[in-house]
Amino acid sequence: MTPTIRTLHDDDLPAVLDLAVRAWAPVFASMRDVLAGSGVYEHFFPEWEPVQRRAVGQVCTATGHDVAVAVDGGRVAGFVAARADEAERLGEIVMLAVDPEFQRRGIGGALTRYAADGLAARGMAVAMVETGGDVGHAPARRTYERAGFTPMPVVRFFATLPITGNS
């Protein structure tokens, strides 16, 4: 069955939050492995599931974000959130997730194209998306490359710092 992509409805949010946790479990496991021993993962994601649910909920309800869901067989199979910077004519895909049960069926690519088409319709000249370089993000990188996005290597470094003083 071909999924239908439509604007997020309020009653879709619980399903989106649940699928986001399932979809990103391998991503967070990979980040934990990459950052092992640094203390950075523990700082940002001591309990990643509630943090991620909160982040997804904020993105899905934020003013200025266009959020769409893919519905397959009456179930929310994935979602995408995008925003547009009219001054820069730059659109950004902020989040994309597909429920593991529905992965490898082209839904991520369809959601990516839907978001990019929406950004183009709003007059954006360029679209961007950020993702990780670790193993857990490999499926996302493939999705974006297949959709015509060109990767720009960026390296982000983190270090935990000793807490000093009374601040």
- What averages of pLDDT result for each successive group of 10 residues across the chain (167 residues)? 90 96 88 85 86 94 95 95 94 94 91 95 94 80 90 84 72
**CATH fold of 4-146, please?**
Aminopeptidase (3.40.630)
Q: Is 71 within 8 Å of 6 (Cβ atoms)?
A: yes
Nearest to 99 by CA among 2, 17, 7, 33: 17
DSSP code per residue over 46-111: TTHHHHHHHHHHHHHHSTTEEEEEEEETTEEEEEEEEEEETTTTEEEEEEEEE-GGGTTSSHHHHH
3-class state of residue 12 by DSSP? helix
Kindly list the domain boundaries of the chain, sorted by start residue: 4-146
Q: What pLDDT, on the 0 to 100 scale, is given for residue 160?
A: 84
Distance of alpha carbon 123 from alpha carbon 93, whole angstroms = 15
Q: What is the pTM assigned to this prediction?
A: 0.86
Query: Which contiguous run of DSSP H or E holds residue 144?
Result: helix 138-146
